[in-house]
Chain A
Amino acid sequence: MISAKDFSREARFVAGNRTTRLTWLALMVICVLALVLGQAEIQRQIDTIERTQAQDEIERAATLSSSTEYGGAAYAAFSLTWNQPDDAAFLAIGQRDLSPWMLRVRALALEGQIHEADNFNPELSLAGRFDFGFVIAFLLPLFVIVLMYDVYAAEREAGRIPMLTATAARPGKIWSMRIVVLAAGAAAACILPLWVLGSLFGGSPSALLAATEVVLFSLVFWTLLASLIAFGNWSASVSAAVLTGCWLVLALLVPLSGKLIIDSAVPGVDGAQISLVQRETVNGAWDLPKPATMDKFYASHPEWSHSAPVDMPFHWKWYFAFQQVGDETAAPLSQAYRESIAQRDQLTGLVAWLSPPVATTRLMQGIAQTDVDSVLAYEQRIRDHHEQIRRYFYPMLFEEIPFTTDNLTGFPVF
């Protein structure tokens, strides 16, 4: 077992090395930077959401109060939805710089609205964000390599091996102790800023604990790999080269090959098709006899089938019926699109078994609630909210209630 005395003796020895101390320090500085930049981004997003919520209320009030008919109000009134960042979102920006985290919807066909993209600067997305998850997944391994590649070879090249083996009761213990000390320093460099800044930024203890586990997972894996190779019977530089090669394969090449395999295994559903189908149905309705649309709508909404037939070229209830029929026609495609995204994400999970950096990234994004699942969950919440809005207007439209603005006060907000 590791005794405290041995540990502190070895710790003093290891910490006596200036390069080691500098490496630990650099790691800590990078962790601090990553946490601060991650939090800055999330804070910007929170501020934007608040600002937009305020303006959204103003706009909706203006639209509803100036409405003269229910159909017109349903057509014009937008409702803001947003994906509030989790308290731990600063750990990993994840999908929050690729997928929209705010979207306005109205009672019109949803498939024409929900696939809206945001206007992120693609050159920034290409670089990726500098967050804690990235540091732990991709940079921590490099630090471990720098700390440990010569742990054995340095002593051998200095000719101290015989002496060390002679003086130690169990030679294995010295090495395991040295590795443990080096790793403990690296762990402290990551975990200390994580807890200090993390709690300052409002991360819950359970999230920070989970993030700590991820740090330890990444650290333990790379420490084991590094010590395995560092104790090979070769020079320190060969160890470093082999370790760098391992990093290259695990961090870059496995994910890229995984991407190629996933691309061919799950042919993507082309999103553009969804909007095309939805558009043809919605616009085609204008050229069809009214009952063709109304019957389809009543089939899925029998509760309104008692509504009077549409005998004019235009009626709002017919207008919103074909919006809904458009969504229903595009639904299988849209469902397939979401399933392909979920399926790709599952396969990415399999790639994670072959690539610890991918696994680390996914775990961290899971804790931060910025992964694909959370994007899909947000999409579902938008769908639910949209349904709430259109069902809010249906009684007014299909019962043909006389218009008063008072009836619009119950407009459902997100």
Chain B
Amino acid sequence: MSIATRVAAGEWQHLIRTRLALTVIVMMLALIAIAAGTSAIQLSNEAQVRASYQQEAEEAFRNQPARHPHRVVHYGHYVFRNPAPLSTIDPGVDTFTGRSIFLEGHRRNTATFAEARETSVLTRFGAVSPAFMLQVITPLLLILIGYGSVVRERERGTLLQLVAQGVSPSTLIKGKALAIGGVAALAAAPLLIAVLWLVISYPSEQLSALVMLSGHLLYLAFWVMLIVAVSAFAKTARTALITLMILWAACTILIPRIAADVAASMYPSQTQTEMDILIQRDMRTVGDSHNINDAGFQSFQEQVLAQYGVSRIEDLPVNYRGLVSLQGEEAGSAVMNRYAGELHAIQRQQSTVMNLFSLVSPYLAIRNLSMRAAGTDLINHQRFLDEAEAHRYALIQELNTLHAHELDFADDAQRSVNAEAEQRTRVNPEFWQRLQSFNFAPSAVSERLLSAAPLLVIMLLWLALAAGLIRKIADKAGKA
């Protein structure tokens, strides 16, 4: 047995002897296990509920009776977001984002019914998840276990004894780090099990799960080194503890919130309502597609007439109302997508600011790294919104095409006043079978890892910093 492992074994014995340390270790493991269990159960329930809603919504759409296509444009459709496989470990922003979107004509809706509205005061530091336990709680518990590891020997005068026995300061520090690292590894064990289980059930997530796991290991290694370094540097155990506590509070409690406020102030974004009003303003120039005589469609009408070589819309071989709907939706969707695109760009800038703050808080580095790798971040939320929009647009335009090609113009014009004409404007319900199923999955693993990569680099920088600190302190102690 090398000297360092002997030191580590000694520290372990000490931790088991002192009841406080043992309590902390047991508490930590229990918490992480509970978190992993609850979040796995919650997630599988949630996934089932959302899948059944999605199926229900699709059945409701396909089982519609004969209807006017524009009725169906307003009847709309619902899509639900499937939870990402790795959200069992890190639910990320999932509780803060809506779970379903209503797709309808003329409007790009946002996701509604976010869980966080319901018990926000209790969960503002994060959901009960293994990631939260490992990122926030475990470092604090490691501090409680490890703050005295080196400084205790000095305070009790056992340090000189050890040195006299030929234990060099750097070996001593290495041994202590090994001991605290062992506890950290114990804390990470449930994560390892969860990752193994996920990799078996979702083989495609292997690499992302591995990156998540290694990110957390780096993060815990950072804290272990920092704790031992501060413990070796401090003159008394209590300054070591208080210093570490302040560092922990600054990294995990203080800086993230300041970062969020700075990001929101630097890049203010529009609220949905303000955006809706501005979209309405811009849409006035597009025109109201319910009214074929709207001034906005004047040049479109001329263009269509010229294209078909006729002089009256009544003479067109297609239903002009349907054409106006197609045109109106296309122009309207361009306006709405421009606003959504601007909003998404601003939100990404805000998130970049948050990412930059990970240079001052390793917690932000691991939190963002883990969300990005899991696909439970802002980027994937926006992807969900964009995919739902693409789904909406395709569906609505398909219905508008039916409107243009399956309906007689004269009947369509009479449908509000003539009951028989109204009956003829209802298309065969078998058209509703054309609905495509919606299935959202997080972005490809490679994309996610690409967005996580810079944060992994930052995490490595933090680790290098802690390692450098330890070496410097060991050198200094060696000279003294």
Contact = CB atoms under 8 A, between A and B. Distances in A.
B253 A138 contact: yes
A259 B123 contact: yes
A98 B117 contact: yes
B71 A283 contact: yes
A117 B98 contact: yes
Interface string B93-123: 1001111101000000111111111111111
A123 B113 contact: no
B60 interface: yes
Q: Which of B67, B75, B78, B264 is most buried by chain A, counting CB atoms within 10 A of its CB?
A: B264
Contacts of A155: none
Contact of A139 (B253, B259, B343): B253
B415 A314 contact: yes
Interface stretch (A195-203, A236-244, A298-306): A236-244
A96 to B, nearest CB: 11
Given A146-B245, A312-B416, A117 B257 contact: no
A238 B236 CA distance: 12
B298 interface: no
A130 B258 contact: yes
B281 interface: yes
A255 B121 contact: yes
Interface residues of A, number: 95
Interface stretch (B197-205, B216-224, B347-355, B450-458): B347-355
Contacts of B71: 283, 286
B114 A117 contact: yes
Contacts, number: 268
Given A56-B277, A260-B38, A123 B354 contact: yes
Chain A binding surface SS class? helix
Contacts of A103: 273
A279 B57 CA distance: 11
Interface in B70-105: 71, 74-76, 78, 80, 92-93, 96-100, 102
Contact of A312 (B112, B347, B417): B417
Scoring B65, B140, B272, B275 by chain A CB atoms within 10 A of each residue's CB, the highest score goes to B272
A170 interface: no
Contacts of A327: none
Given A117-B114, A123-B354, A252 B137 contact: yes
B65 A287 contact: yes
Interface in B125-159: 125-126, 128, 136-137, 140-141, 143-144, 147-148
B112 A115 contact: yes
A127 interface: yes
A102 B418 CA distance: 41
Given A99-B117, A128-B260, A52 B238 contact: no
Given A127-B354, A139-B253, A146-B242, A122 B381 contact: yes
B416 A313 contact: yes
B144 A245 contact: yes
A115 B270 CA distance: 19
A134 B257 contact: yes
B185 to A, nearest CB: 21
Contact of A59 (B80, B110, B245, B280): B280
Contacts of A127: 256-257, 259-260, 354
Contact of A149 (B116, B238, B377): B238
Contacts of A340: 118
B381 A313 contact: no
Given A123-B378, A149-B242, A286-B71, A48 B271 contact: yes
A358 interface: yes
Given A102-B271, A130-B257, A237 B377 contact: no
B20 interface: yes
Interface stretch (A36-44, A159-167, A391-399, A401-409): A36-44
A103 B272 CA distance: 9
Contact of B350 (A48, A123, A258): A123
A227 interface: no
Contact of A122 (B74, B93, B273): B93
Contacts of A124: 260, 263-264, 350, 354
Contacts of B273: 52, 80, 100, 102-104, 118
B241 interface: yes
A235 B280 contact: no
Interface in B244-302: 245-246, 249, 253-254, 256-261, 263-265, 268-278, 280-281, 284, 288
Nearest to B147: A237
A275 B378 CA distance: 25
Interface string A33-64: 10001001100100010011001101100100
B87 to A, nearest CB: 13
Contact of B125 (A37, A121, A122, A252): A252
Contacts of B92: 126
B124 interface: yes
4 tightest CB-CB pairs across the interface, nearest first? A122-B93, A271-B113, A314-B416, A130-B257
Given A123-B378, A275-B102, A348-B121, 9 more contacts: A33-B258, A48-B270, A55-B278, A102-B271, A102-B273, A121-B350, A149-B238, A236-B237, A341-B118
